[in-house]
Amino acid sequence: MASFTVGIVVFPGSNCDRDVSWALEGCLDIKTKFLWHESSDLKDVDSIVLPGGFSYGDYLRCGAIARFSPLINSLHDFVKSGRRVLGICNGFQILTESGFLPGALVANKNLNFICDDVDLNVITSKGGWFQKLDKKQYIKLPIAHGEGRYHCDQDTLKRLIDNDLIALKYKNNPNGSTSDIAGITNEKGNVLGLMPHPERACDESIGGIDGLYTLKSLLT
Amino acid sequence: MDKFEVKVFIRLRPSVLDPAGEAIKSASSKIGVEGIKSLRIGKMIEVKIEGNKEDEIKEKIDLLCDRLFANTVIEDYEYSINKL
């Protein structure tokens, strides 16, 4: 049997694809495979990461053009099958633009590109993307974005709360996100989108290991 | 076949904060222009397109707006069509 393989999607303008591969292969010994966005063949991969970056130069809106790639088109069946998809930063933006997750990501309230480590509250255990050690859990992950302000209407927010779909909240909201939201999951829990970068927190030598659990959970 | 020019205007929905618009509003007062109550930034897309009827063009532009030009979670759009 072939070993578990995580597909990492590469769009023109992706720039965290290699970081994700380094974190998975180097820190967790998980096999990865780069998937060019024009390919629609997902049969060799068991879960998928949409990495950060600036797909298609963020033209029009972040993630707006990437959603029309053949790979994103075939992602619908992949998600339906229950396999896991993790969208990080630009990957989260692509997941909202494509309708896999509700809401949208817009320009930070203070208009700055924010590059910082942030404290996050883990809210849901849905999908098992985060380790729940006790009732309340805090993790620290890096963020690096100019358009990371999560926006949704009141009905959507109610649905997120009622169905326990809010994955992460900022302790000190850096970008003006609705209800401090930093990451959400779909109803099934097999799709997670988040603005923070777990792949940049996978080794003590680069400042922390709070991202390891989320990447490791791609295996489940 | 006729030629048409379409101008599509895309605006952030009123409920979505526009910090860039706020920054420009503040800069406007710095050059002495007072009285601006609201300033919001949108996008304008010009399309030249061929077709037989205006209704057919409208159908295509609606599709483009709904699926690509605008994200209707955060944006509204309107457009005008002129036969060239």
Q: For B14-24, how does the pLDDT look when each residue is reduced to its tens digit (9 = 90+)?
A: 999 999 999 99
Interchain pair A64, B71: CB under 8 A = yes
Partnered with residue B3 across adjacent β-strands are B50
Contact A34, A17 (CB under 8 A): yes
The reported pLDDT for the residue numbered A133 is 63
The reported pLDDT for the residue numbered A136 is 63
* Structure tokens belonging to residue A172: 């000190």
Residues in chain A closer than 8 A to B23 (CB atoms): 111
Partnered with residue B11 across adjacent β-strands are B42, B76
pLDDT above 60 for A1: no
* Structure tokens belonging to residue A43: 């049969």
Contact B24, B15 (CB under 8 A): no
- Say how far apart CA A116 and CA B12 lie, in whole Å: 28
- Say how far apart CA A129 and CA B62 lie, in whole Å: 39
**Overall pTM surpassing 0.90 (yes/no):** yes
Gap from B45 CA to chain A (nearest CA, Å): 10
Contact A178, A155 (CB under 8 A): no
Residues in chain B closer than 8 A to A61 (CB atoms): 71
Residues in chain B closer than 8 A to A109 (CB atoms): 17, 19
Residues with Cβ < 8 Å from A201, sequence gap 6 or more?
A: A140, A141, A142, A207, A208, A209, A210, A211, A212
pLDDT range class, residue A134, cuts 50, 70, 90: low
pLDDT in tens, A55-83: 999 999 999 999 999 999 999 999 999 99
Per-domain residue ranges of chain B: 2-83
- Its ipTM equals 0.85
pLDDT range class, residue A206, cuts 50, 70, 90: confident
The reported pLDDT for the residue numbered A131 is 83
Interchain pair A60, B69: CB under 8 A = yes
Gap from B17 CA to chain A (nearest CA, Å): 8
pLDDT above 80 for B75: yes
Selected residues 8-47 of chain B with any CB under 8 Å from a CB in chain A = 12, 15-17, 19-20, 23
The reported pLDDT for the residue numbered A207 is 84
Write down the mean pLDDT value for chain A: 94
- Domain at B2-83, CATH from 3.40.50.300, 3.40.50.2300, 1.10.490.10, 3.30.1280.10: 3.30.1280.10
Residues in chain B, total: 84
Residues with Cβ < 8 Å from B14, sequence gap 6 or more?
A: none
- Say how far apart CA A184 and CA A166 lie, in whole Å: 5
Whether A109 contacts chain B with CB within 8 A:
yes
Residues in chain A closer than 8 A to B16 (CB atoms): 106, 151
The reported pLDDT for the residue numbered A2 is 73
pLDDT in tens, A80-113: 999 999 999 999 999 999 999 999 999 999 999 9
Whether B80 contacts chain A with CB within 8 A:
no
3-state secondary structure of A159: helix
Question: How are strands ordered across the β-sheet holding A181-185?
Answer: A31-36, A5-10, A47-50, A84-88, A191-194, A181-185, A166-170, A114-122, A137-145
- Sign (positive/negative) of CA torsion A108, A111, A113, A119? negative
The reported pLDDT for the residue numbered B63 is 97
pLDDT range class, residue B43, cuts 50, 70, 90: very high
CA B25, B29, B30, B31: dihedral to nearest 10 degrees? 110
DSSP, residue by residue, A169-213: EESS-SS--GGGEEEEE-SSS-EEEESS-GGGSSBGGGTB-TTHH
The reported pLDDT for the residue numbered A137 is 81
pLDDT range class, residue A117, cuts 50, 70, 90: very high
Within 13 A of B17's CA, how many CA atoms are on the CB side? Answer: 19
pLDDT in tens, A135-185: 668 899 999 999 999 999 999 999 999 999 999 999 999 999 999 999 999
Contact A151, A108 (CB under 8 A): no
A53 secondary structure, DSSP code = B
pLDDT in tens, A11-69: 999 999 999 999 999 999 999 999 999 999 999 999 999 999 999 999 999 999 999 99
Please give the positions of A annotated as active site. 89, 197, 199
- Closest by CA to A94, choosing from A124, A52, A45, is A52
